[in-house]
Amino acid sequence: MGNFIEMPKFDMSMTEGTITKWLVSEGDNIEEGQDIFEVETGKASNIGDSLYSGKLLKIYCAEGEAVPVFAKIAYVGKEGEEIPEIIADKAEVKEEVPATKKDIEKETAAAIEKSKPAAENYDYECVVIGAGPGGYVAAIKAAQLGMKAAIIEKGEFGGTCLNRGCIPTKAFYASAKVYEDIKAAESFGLSVEGVSFDWTKILNRKEGIVKKLSGGVEMLLKKNGVAIIKGEGKITDGHTVSVGDKNITSKYMIIATGSKPVSLLQNVDDDVKLLNTDDFLSMDVLPESMVIVGGGVIGVEIANILSAFDVKVTIIELMPRILPRADEEISDLLKEKLTAKGVEIINGAKILSIKKKDGKVSVALEDGKVIESDAILEAVGRTVDDRAFADLDIKRDKKGFIIVNKENLSSIDSIYAIGDATGGYMLAHEASKQGEVAVNSMLGIKDEKEIIIPACIFTKPEIAYVGMTEKEAKEAGYEVKVSKFPFAANGKALTIGETDGFVKVIADAKYGEILGVHIIGPEASNLIHEAVMAMSAEETVKSAAEMVHAHPTLAETLMEAFLGAASKAVHI
């Protein structure tokens, strides 16, 4: 009994293929792995190989024919063997005229024109409330697509991200990294003496960067013709928002009002000053020791910064591990590295009380342990900032975040909500993308492409991930193949002296679909974008591994990890 050769599935979105050329003929002897036909998938040309050795007894599918994936296209067996009679499946014939870029642009422009909201009855077509990374991007997009747009901001342009989040923490992170690198100069054969830091200068550097970026956002809004309204917006109905004594009307509104730090700690004495992330970012003087309550992304990033500047940090986390949402091996390795830097990490800990004792903060845990420190910072999450919509009858979840559909439309059909105001993972780039989705939805522009959101954690080593963890993939029912490649086996990592960590690829064992990529190691926050690109382009681990990577680069670790998932890595 011989074997059928089937139309392979070359990429995740492939449904059919057209045999453009047979490279062998009926009666030929063929070898396993031999290239036997060329196929066009609509996305690319591919070569099909044989999974079997033997005589090619029958070709069921002629050149030029399109067949669905996994359809039987040929039969390989032994001389004289009876050849099964089958009728090859034919793919549905579609008259498809390929659209040119110009056609697509024309169609999009026509769609926008057709669905443009009439502005004559309203002051604006789109009013955005909040100028964080969600709101300002949405307002610029709306204006760029021809809508009469305005943005209302009560504070600084750039929102939490620029002023109290991503950028200031990364400015501190950069200072911490340079300081640690200089202290490690000896290992590079360099002698540096008298290394010290000046916190005031670090703080001023951070403030300079924030100011520059915030001014840049205001300028971008103006340049794109977005009307800027300064003040606190309060939505009064589906089309009206008031700022002071002024009512502004709009066909559509976008709530992009973000979030604020939440305080969940109980039994805290009145004389204890509980710091939050906003307080940390403007601290004039560093304490000698600090307790950080919460071992999530923000908690570990702050612990990483403070420990670099010799502050004795203790992280208290309720969950059994820090970074509970990250891959388990990654959170374990980060715990090991932070501990080696002197950070004490207490997991599964419940706080009973927080008191002031002899000028120190005294934190009592359920297991009887008491931790004393100079300061305490609460990083247990964020809550919705609902001043703009507190009195509005808009659907919210149990935590108060606005419920939206895939297009970011809320329960009120003229009001969209984006970013932190909708809860979720709370990432700046996710907020921006949602802004774009909301504006496209107003204009009837369809974007069917799956949105893939990476996440980065700026610690030493850096962490970045996209897609499912190994556990999530298994729970979702995938037959999972895991491939891990260590930075210790990468030449570039050795030259820069950063060999801690690994790249971990989670793939579907059957088709090689990339389900998730998790990185802990140098430049993880930049490297992850190769994985995002590969997943967006629906590459398989095999095709991603086939891409040539320059040597010596950190990116070679990704190539090796993809290769390990497809077959076997070369350098381990």
Tally Cβ neighbours within 10 Å of residue 268: 19
Q: In the annotation, is 239 catalytic?
A: no
CB of 530 to ligand FAD, least distance (A): 19
Structure tokens at 152: 């209302």
Of 54 and 130, the one with the shorter C-beta distance to ligand FAD is 130
Q: Are 18 and 63 in contact (CB under 8 A)?
A: no
Report residue 458: phi and psi, to 5°.
-95, 85
Of 77 and 233, the one with the shorter C-beta distance to ligand FAD is 233
Structure tokens at 381: 């999450």
Question: Which CB contacts under 8 angstroms, 24+ apart, belong to 41-47?
Answer: 41/10, 41/11, 41/14, 41/16, 41/17, 42/14, 42/16, 43/11, 43/13, 43/14, 44/10, 44/11, 45/20, 46/8, 46/10, 46/17, 47/23
Among candidate residues 239, 429, 549, 551, the one labeled active-site is: 551
Three-class secondary structure of residue 42 per DSSP? coil
Of 159 and 522, the one with the shorter C-beta distance to ligand FAD is 159
Q: Are strands 259-261 and 382-384 parallel, antiparallel or unpaired?
A: antiparallel
Site residues (vs ligand FAD, CB under 6 A): 129-135, 152-155, 159-161, 164-166, 169, 232-233, 256-259, 277, 298, 385, 387-388, 419-421, 426-429, 431
CB of 321 to ligand FAD, least distance (A): 20
CB of 36 to ligand FAD, least distance (A): 48
CB of 363 to ligand FAD, least distance (A): 21
- Reported in sequence order, the residue ranges of 350-391 that DSSP labels E, i.e. its strands, are 351-357, 360-365, 370-373, 375-378, 382-384
CB of 256 to ligand FAD, least distance (A): 5
Of 277 and 410, the one with the shorter C-beta distance to ligand FAD is 277
Instruction: Indicate the DSSP class of residue 477.
Output: T
Q: In what order do the strands lie in the sheet with 351-357?
A: 351-357, 360-365, 370-373
Of 156 and 513, the one with the shorter C-beta distance to ligand FAD is 156
> Which residue is associated with the tokens 């974007």?
447
Of 521 and 564, the one with the shorter C-beta distance to ligand FAD is 521
Tally Cβ neighbours within 10 Å of residue 263: 13
CB of 311 to ligand FAD, least distance (A): 17
> Which residue is associated with the tokens 């970011």?
408
Q: Residues with catalytic annotation?
A: 551
